[in-house]
Amino acid sequence: MTRIFSGVKPTGHLTLGNYLGAVRRWTEVDQHAADALFCVVDLHALTVDHDPARVRRLSRQAATLLLAAGLDPALCTVFVQSHVDEHARLSYLLECVATDGEMRRMIQYKEKSVRERARGGSVRLSLLTYPVLMAADILAYGTDDVPVGDDQTQHVELARDLAVRFNQRYGHTFVVPRAVRPQVAARVMSLQDPLAKMGKSEDVGPGIVYLLDEPDAVRKKVARAVTDSGRDVVYDREERPGVANLLEILAACTDGEPEKLAAAYESYGALKRDVAEAVVEVLRPVRERHRELCADPGYLEGVLRAGAERAREVARPRVDAAYRAIGL
Ligand code: ADP
C-alpha cells in the first residue's frame, strides 16, 4: 500500500493556499487511497522568532482545522511532530549525510534569511537545517508520496537525495519519496501581491484568505484583489498574474480549468464575484465542522494521542535501523 506523509507548520492561521495546494487533496484523495499520515510540524515553527504559547495554540488549531477540513482519524493518522521523538532522532543522522552547501542553496532559506536579517534579527541555525528535519519527517515513515504545494518541491527533492545517498553509503534503509503536486492551485498567490505566495508564515493582511474567514471577510478581500491593467479576462500567469491567480482559485474551487473559465467572463467584476462565492462555499463546511470540534476538546486530544502512538510504531523500526546502519 502506498505510504503518504505530509504536514503543516503552526506558524499562523491556515490559508486558502494551504487548503487548495495541499489539505483538500489529503482529504479527498490521499486518505482514501493509501496509508496516510498527516502531521502538524511544530518543530518547524521554532525556526523563526516565536512565542511559545502561540505556537502551542496554533498547533492545536491546525490539528483541529485538518479534522474540520475532512481528515478522518478512522482512515488516516493525524498527529503532532514533537509528540514523536523519531523525527528529531533521525534528523541528526541526516545532518551527517547532508552538506552545508546543499542547505544554503534552498530557495526558502535564502528568502527567509534575507527577511529575518532585514528585520534586524539573527538567523537561527534551525532555519538553515529545516529541510533536513523535513527529510527526516518524510523518510522516517518509508513514505512513497508527499502531496505538497509547489513551494515544497525543492525540499522533497532534498529528501530524495538524502535517501539515495544514505542507502548507497550505509545500505538500503529508506524508501525514495516523490513530491505530488496538485494540477491547479499548486501556488496560490496573495490577492494583494500576485507575485508573492499566499502563505500563513509570510504576513497578515487583506491579500490572504484564512480558512476561518467569515463569508463577508472573504467577499471583501476578493473584491479588493489586485488585478492587472488590461480589461479582458485571459489566463496568462506571466503577463496577467492577478487575474490568473483568481482564475486558478476559481478552477480549484469548482473543479474547472482556468483557460476555459476565462472564456466565460467579460469583466473582472463578474469574475471576482464568482470567485468570492466559490471560496465561501468551499470554506463553509470547514468553518461549521471547526465550530463543532472546538466544542469537544477531549476528542482532539484523543485523536492526537492515538495518532502519535501509531506514528511512533511506524517510524521507530526504520529509525532504529538507520542508527545501526550508520554505525551506532
Ligand atoms: P506556509 O507557507 O503557509 O507556512 P506550510 O509550510 O505549513 O505553509 O505548508 C503546508 C502545505 O501547504 C504545504 O504542502 C505547502 O506546499 C502548501 N502551501 C503553502 N502555501 C501555499 C500556497 N500559497 N499555494 C499552494 N500551496 C501552498
User: Is 221 an active-site residue?
Assistant: no
2-26 per-position pLDDT tens digit: 999 999 999 999 999 999 999 999 9
Asked if 33 and 163 sit in the same domain, the reply is yes
Phi, psi of 79 (to 5 degrees): -155, 175
**For the whole model, what pTM was predicted?**
0.95
Q: Can 272 be counted among the known catalytic residues?
A: no
Q: Is residue 29 part of a domain?
A: yes
In a domain, 148, yes or no: yes
Dihedral angle of Cα 93, 97, 100, 102, to the nearest 10 degrees: -120
- Same domain flag for 273 and 243: yes
Question: Cell numbers 532555519 label which residue?
Answer: 127
Same domain, 120 and 24: yes
Same domain membership, residue 137 and residue 100: yes
The CATH number covering residue 264 comes to 1.10.240.10
Amino acid at residue number 216: D
Percentage of the chain with pLDDT > 70?
Answer: 99
Residues 234 and 263 occupy one common structural domain: yes
> What's the pLDDT score for residue 202?
58
User: Which domain does 152 fall in, by range?
Assistant: 3-180+297-326
Q: Which three cell numbers stand for residue 161?
A: 537525495
Residues 267 and 317 in one domain: no
Contact 65, 288 (CB under 8 A): no
Q: What is the pLDDT of residues 205-237, one digit of tens each?
A: 789 999 999 999 999 999 999 998 888 899 999
Catalytic option among 9, 110, 200, 220: 200
Same-domain pairing of 91 and 46: yes
In 3D, which of 69, 72, 76, 81 has the Cα closest to residue 19? 69
Any idea what DSSP says for residue 98?
S
Residues in the chain: 328
Sorting pLDDT into bands at 50, 70 and 90, what band is 201?
A: low
- The answer to whether the CB of 24 falls within 8 A of the CB of 57 is no
Instruction: Examine the domain organization and report whether 9 and 95 are in the same domain.
Output: yes
Query: How confident is the model over 117-148, as pLDDT tens digits?
Result: 888 889 999 999 999 999 999 999 999 999 99
Work out whether strand 35-40 and strand 3-8 pair parallel, antiparallel, or are unpaired.
parallel
* 321 occurs within a structural domain: yes
Let me know whether 285 and 305 are in one domain.
no
What's the domain count of the chain? 2
pLDDT on residue 203 = 58
201, part of any domain: no
pLDDT digits (tens, 9 = 90+) for 25-56: 999 999 999 999 999 999 999 998 899 999 99
Say whether pLDDT at 204 is over 70.
Answer: no
Q: Which of 9, 110, 197, 272 is catalytic?
A: 197
- Mean per-residue pLDDT for 251-269? 94
How far apart are the CA of 126 and the centre of ligand 1, in A? Answer: 19
| 176 and 223 within one domain | no
Closest C-alpha to ligand 1, atom 10: 8
